[in-house]
Amino acid sequence: MTDVTMTVNGQTRSASVPPETTLLQLLREHFNLTGAKLGCDVGDCGACTVIVDGQAVNSCLMLAGQADGRQILTIEGLASRNHLHTIQKTFENSGALQCGFCGPGVLMSAKALLDENLNPSTREIRDALSGNLCRCTGYTKMIEAVQDAARLLREEPRTQITHARTEVTAS
Amino acid sequence: MNEHSRVLERDKLNIAEPPSDVDLRLPVQVPREPYPIETLTPDARQQTRAVGQRATRPDGRLHGLGQTKYIDDLSFPGMLYARIKRAGIASARIKRIDTSAAEAMPGVMAVLTGKEIPTNSFGPTFQDQPVLADPIVRHAGDGVAAVAALTEQIANEALDKIVVEYEPLPAVLDPVAAMREDAPKVHAPDSNIYATKVIRKGDIEKGFAESDHIFEGRYSTQMIEHVSLEPHAAIADWDANGRLTIWATIGRITLARSDIARTLKLPMSRIRIVGTIVGGNFGGKNEISQEPALALLSKKTGRPVKGVFTRGEEFTATTTRHPIIMDYKTGVTKKGRILARQIRLVLDGGAYCSWSATTLGKACILSPGPYKIDNVVAEAFVVYTNKTMTGAMRGFGAPQVCFAYESQMDDIAKALKLDPLEIRMLNAFDEGSSSPTGQVLHSVVVKESLRKAAERFGWEPRS
Amino acid sequence: MKAFGYVMAKDVGHAVALLAEHGAKAKILAGGTDLLVELKHAVHNPEIIVDVSRLAEIKDIAVRDDGLHIGALATHSDIMSSPVIRGMFPALVNAAHSIGAMQTRNLGTLGGNLVTCVPSMDSGPALIALEASVTVASSAGQRRMPLADLFVGPRKTSLKPGDLLVDIVIPKESLDKPAAFEKFGLRKGQALALVNAAAAFFIDKGNFLKPRIALGAVAPTVIRAPKAEAYLGGRKISAEAMAEAGRIAATEAKPISDFRASADYRRDLIAVLVKRALANAQAVATTKQKELVA
């Protein structure tokens, strides 16, 4: 068994799992965080995207042991205190989530992009979302939603943005 | 990329203080406060203003929060995981299945083969598809045995331990070859042609005789998988009172209930189907697949059983879009007016019918295109082949024939040196035109749509 | 995935000791983007996974006396965001960018991409064109060899059980050599290359100096195009010469036909991509010159 301790959405958690457990399985089956989805299990569809140490990764392609000691942010950690994350708001308003299965992964990719770049071009957005496949909504509304979110986040005072993140990571 | 922000993120790596034992025992609940979920009941007074309004989906909030529960997000105490062994051979007779080694594995709770299924056939039109093949395998994605185990890993390993001996049978993979009398029969002794439709309007011979030019062309399309992001998934729970509850990613739960009742020889009143939120359907989840097998595994073990297809199974063991071989013969005047069109469609129906009959009908009716043609003959056939079954997918055959008739319109326009837009304007339906089946059409805006589209994308004749 | 053991290496010494101990029964886990897929499909059934992903000592990107060192564990994202590489070799940035998608680039490593050794690898051609070499560690010590010697065939390298690729070195002779990478896939993001190509050359009084052309996805491994290189060497730089080099390179490859593209289509692509890579390498040279003047 592999013993792991990591910070998940701001809370430290431990588990003892078989070594072949993926980070996705650890989150879904051991921590009951079912927001990240299993779509293809080989890193093509992006439905399992979570943020590890600030970087978007396919959690189906990471062993639980590799995530030991790291900071994991999942879709469940995006909203806080009766407060939707701006990306969640704009995705909802743009109708960018239809069946919703790809949604959590797309939102995490968008979050990773906007954490680094608050003024992304359409090309940069497309590039950041190229690892997330969607079959219902298509990508136009998602790109709109990311652009709207970027604009809102730029307008919001910087402190408030970091506030939303520390809110989640503190505790 | 901003290296600085990444460094900042990384600096937070260190876990400052070890959390208390009490904290560690809590489930990960973020945030600890409730999520911002409002009751999104539409205001009755607003409803008439829906048209032209920007609407948000009532379930969009939950999707964005990652709180929507799809099948794979549900689990029940004692739940087992099922996997299905796929044949991996296109056409064969099963001589022997040995499941003893799998059954002996620690953690394997039950194994199921086709023989144990009360009525081993289902299908929305013809009941020609087995839940688990017995004894004839008709395509490589056919299931031959199912396993329920404590974990998915054990179930997968058990599949490897099931020994199946096959007697390979001749396979037919080409739909045109499958139509020949001497072709191997997929469902022997029946003909491989399992549904046909013919539409006749006017006098086709006269139409061709009066035409200045006759164009013939063959157009074909490929098989397409729906690839809904959520794979096919279901949970079956056969309780001690003999009541069966199935949570399933199925778009048509009442149809599913009657199909499941039939396969299990169980009264419909004993079956409850819970249609959960479906992570993409597109026609691919309009019928049952593994549900009866899961139900029987649940009955055998007395525990809930979950089954989720792998992405590979999605391609080999679920329905797909029909490949169609489309022969078009069209007679036109010098000016490009269509006088006669003869069409022959051969739909590759795969190993089982599924929604093929519906697709066949729609493809045939729409095959002449949205054009005023007085003389039409359209014949369509759907045939069995030893390939993944084809069924419903967005448009039920309409996109395939659209590809064919519009390609031929372009071919004709090019040959007659006509503008592709003009030849369509010349022939398109008007208000009150009648379709090939004699339906008088209303609210027809083909020409207006074409004109508007041409205007918007700046169409200008290229020649 | 089938059951296996897992051990996290603390440093390179520990890693090679573990690899020596377990030999062929071990598999090395770096980024995992290829390995996990192979494990899920039971391509390998190792008894133990040696996780080297935390070895910070082989993650650095830095210029030293003998050239530019890229640690084998540098991820494709690390390469894309490294100021050193961005300034010196835009070709490597483009190559890294063309691999997978953001999520896989954040996990996948340069070393992993090289040792997985698929013919269509995007990290290979630019490094081959820049005549990179690699350092391999084992319990017997470290050895250096040309990168080209690492590639044996599709998914086959010259590494033995117990070997760990630790470093990729672009020799000092190639530093600041203008280079470009071109790829054609069926989709702009997250697609395997139908063909990829890299070109590098110095400019000597308007002539090609030491031209190097490398091609991917058109032979069992990444290959050079020596005839096209010989044609260009010493020749006046011109669009015609670049196009001709592309045509020559197309005759040197042995592409296969598969479900992605036919061999003929791939040969046509080679001619176009080599021409473009040469033109873009020239553009890189021009930019660099401008920067020098400024």
What is the per-residue pLDDT across A89-121, written as a single tens digit (0 to 9) for each? Answer: 999 999 999 999 999 999 999 999 999 999 999
- Predicted confidence at residue C288, as pLDDT, reads 82
Asked if A63's CB is within 8 angstroms of C51's CB, the reply is yes
Q: With an 8 Å Cβ cutoff, is C43 touching chain A? A: no
Q: How confident is the model at residue B14 (pLDDT cuts 50, 70, 90)?
A: very low
Predicted confidence band of residue B38 (pLDDT cuts 50, 70, 90): low
Question: Residue B25's closest chain A neighbor by CA?
Answer: A13
pLDDT score of A160 more than 80? no
Percent of chain A having pLDDT more than 70? 91
Binary contact (A100, B226; C-beta < 8 A): no
Q: Say what the pLDDT of residue A79 is.
A: 87
B1 contacts in chain A (CB < 8 Å)? 116-117
pLDDT, averaged across chain C: 96
Q: Give the angle subtended at the CA of B433 by the CAs of B432 and B438, to the nearest 5°.
A: 110
pLDDT at B24 over 70: no
Which tens digit of pLDDT belongs to each residue from C67-82?
999 999 999 999 999 9
Structure confidence at residue B37 (pLDDT): 60
**B461 band by pLDDT with thresholds 50, 70 and 90:** low
Which residues touch C82 (CB under 8 Å, ≥6 apart)? C61, C74
Q: What is the pLDDT of residue B369?
A: 97
Classified as helix, coil or strand, B238 is: strand
Residue A92 pLDDT: 92
pLDDT for res C294: 67
What distance in Å separates residue C200's CA from the closest CA in chain B? 26
What average pLDDT does range B139-146 have in this prediction? 98
Q: What is the amino acid identity at position B206?
A: K
The answer to whether the CB of A20 falls within 8 A of the CB of C3 is yes
**B67: amino acid identity, one letter:** Q
- pLDDT value at residue B175: 97
Radius of gyration of chain C (CA): 19
Question: Cβ contact (<8 Å) for A97 and B60?
Answer: yes
pLDDT band (50, 70, 90) for residue B5: very low
B76 pLDDT higher than 50: yes
List pLDDT tens digits, range C94-130: 999 999 999 999 999 999 999 999 999 999 999 999 9
The alpha-carbon gap from A20 to the nearest alpha carbon of chain C, in Å, equals: 6
* Residue labelled with tokens 């013993």: A3
Write the residue in B9, B33, B64 that is nearest to A97 by C-beta: B64
Q: What angle do CA C260, C266, C271 make, to 5 degrees?
A: 150
Average model confidence (pLDDT) for chain B? Answer: 91
What is the percent of chain B where pLDDT is above 70? 89
> Mean pLDDT across the stretch B97-116?
98
Contact: A76, B28; criterion CB under 8 Å: yes
- Window B:310-329, CB contacts with A under 8 Å: 310-311
Mean pLDDT of B97-115: 98
Q: What does the pLDDT look like over C15-67, one tens digit per residue?
A: 999 999 999 999 999 999 999 999 999 999 999 999 999 999 999 999 999 99
Does residue B218 carry a pLDDT above 60? yes
Residues 6+ positions from C264 with CB-CB distance below 8 Å:
C257
pLDDT beyond 90 at B58: no
The pLDDT value given to residue B393:
96
Instruction: Tell me what pLDDT residue B253 has.
Output: 92
pLDDT digits (tens, 9 = 90+) for A8-31: 999 999 999 999 999 999 999 999
Q: Which chains contact A through at least 3 pairs of Cβ atoms less than 8 Å apart?
A: B, C
CB of A3 within 8 Å of any CB in chain B?
A: no
Q: How confident is the model at residue C188 (pLDDT cuts 50, 70, 90)?
A: confident
User: Tens digit of pLDDT for each residue in C218-254?
Assistant: 999 999 999 999 999 999 999 999 999 999 999 999 9
How many residues does the structure list for chain B? 463
pLDDT, mean of residues B247-268: 95
Nearest Cα to A110, choosing from C283, C151, C102? C102
Global pTM reads 0.92
Inter-chain residue contact A40 with B311, CB threshold 8 Å: yes
Residue B59, pLDDT score:
86
Residue B361 predicted with pLDDT over 70: yes
Q: Is the ipTM of this complex over 0.85?
A: yes
**Residue C52: which residues within 8 A CB-CB, separation 6 or more?**
C9, C15, C28, C29, C30, C58, C73, C164
Asked if residue B324 has pLDDT above 70, the reply is: yes
Predicted local confidence at residue B17, as pLDDT: 60
pLDDT at B21: 72
- Answer whether B5 sits within 8 Å of A115, measured CB to CB: yes
Question: Can you give the pLDDT at residue B81?
Answer: 98
What pLDDT, on the 0 to 100 scale, is given for residue C153?
96
Q: Please state the φ and ψ torsions of residue A54, each to the nearest 5 degrees.
A: 85, -5
Q: How confident is the model at residue B44 (pLDDT cuts 50, 70, 90)?
A: low
Tokens 């989150």 locate to A27
Predicted pLDDT at C292: 73
Preceding amide of A18 cis, omega within 30: no
**A79 versus A129: which is more confidently predicted?**
A129
Q: Is B189 exposed, middle or buried (0-12, 13-18, 19+ CB in 10 A)?
A: exposed
Q: How confident is the model at residue B140 (pLDDT cuts 50, 70, 90)?
A: very high
B368, B341 in Cβ contact below 8 A? yes
